[in-house]
Every structure is written in structure tokens, then in C-alpha cells.
């Protein structure tokens, strides 16, 4: 089974600053998808951003961008101009292109935004 590792259990950032959350994964597959999800205290998981492994260009969604390094099996999330509403648990997730909708999640990084 694929494994997803988030080595930072907790991170903090000053409001309006930039923070990068790390994620690495282990796979022997060449075709897959990567996702970042956010889980605020309301507990609903919300999609932040996604990346297809076959795309070299890094995905961006407004203040959120990723640094996808396929050879290094690394998929970090950068949050620019951090806002109080960004405070949440962030999960990195992997999904194979061949095995349906079985997602593998990391253990999460708890992000605190300091006003």
C-alpha cells in the first residue's frame, strides 16, 4: 500500500506571512493524483488543491500553490498571505490512477495562524 508522510505535526504562521507544509509519499506507480485537504474544527474536509502526476506544472489556487517534485516524491503546500481562516488541520492525500477512489492520507499538519 502507498504511504503518505507528513513530518510536521504542527506548524504556525503569522497572519499575512507565508508557510509551507511538507508531504512525501512512497509509490512505485507512475500515474497518480495528489491532493491537499483542509479540515477546520467544523470537521468537514475541504479540498484545497490537486495535482496530476503527469503534469510538470505546479498547481495553484489563489493563495495556495504546490511544489511537486515527482522524482523526490514530494508534494508540499505553500500558503501565501496567511489568513485566520486558514487555521485548520491539513492532510496530504494520494490516489492511484488505477485503483478507483481509494485515497491514502497522511497524518496531518495542524496549522495555527497567529494574528
What is the contact surface with another protein in residues (CB under 8 A)?
A: 33, 35, 37, 42-47, 50, 52, 91, 95-97, 99-108
| Beta carbon nearer to another protein, 18 or 70 | 70
| Beta carbon nearer to another protein, 18 or 39 | 39
Neighbours of 53 (CB within 10 A): 19
Q: How far is the CB of 53 from another protein (least distance, A)?
A: 10
| Beta carbon nearer to another protein, 28 or 42 | 42
- What CA–CA distance (Å, rounded) separates 45 from 4? 17
| Beta carbon nearer to another protein, 79 or 108 | 108
Q: How far is the CB of 80 from another protein (least distance, A)?
A: 22
Q: How far is the CB of 12 from another protein (least distance, A)?
A: 20
> C-alpha grid cell for residue 33?
493524483
Q: Which of 2, 73, 6 is nearest to 36 (CA)?
A: 6
H or E, element range at 90? strand 88-96
Q: How far is the CB of 87 from another protein (least distance, A)?
A: 18
Neighbours of 49 (CB within 10 A): 20
Q: Which of 109, 106, 112, 114 is nearest to 2 (CA)?
A: 106
Amino acid at each position: 500500500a502507498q504511504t503518505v508522510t507528513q513530518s510536521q505535526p504542527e506548524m504556525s504562521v503569522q497572519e499575512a506571512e507565508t508557510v509551507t507544509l511538507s508531504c512525501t509519499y512512497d509509490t512505485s506507480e507512475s500515474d497518480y493524483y495528489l491532493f491537499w485537504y483542509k479540515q477546520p474544527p467544523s470537521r468537514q474536509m475541504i479540498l484545497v488543491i490537486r495535482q496530476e502526476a503527469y503534469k510538470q506544472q505546479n498547481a495553484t489556487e489563489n493563495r495556495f500553490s504546490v511544489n511537486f517534485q515527482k522524482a523526490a516524491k514530494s508534494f508540499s503546500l505553500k500558503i501565501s498571505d496567511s489568513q485566520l481562516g486558514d487555521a485548520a488541520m491539513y492532510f496530504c492525500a494520494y490516489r492511484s490512477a488505477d485503483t478507483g477512489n481509494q485515497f491514502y492520507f497522511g497524518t496531518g499538519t495542524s496549522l495555527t495562524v497567529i494574528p
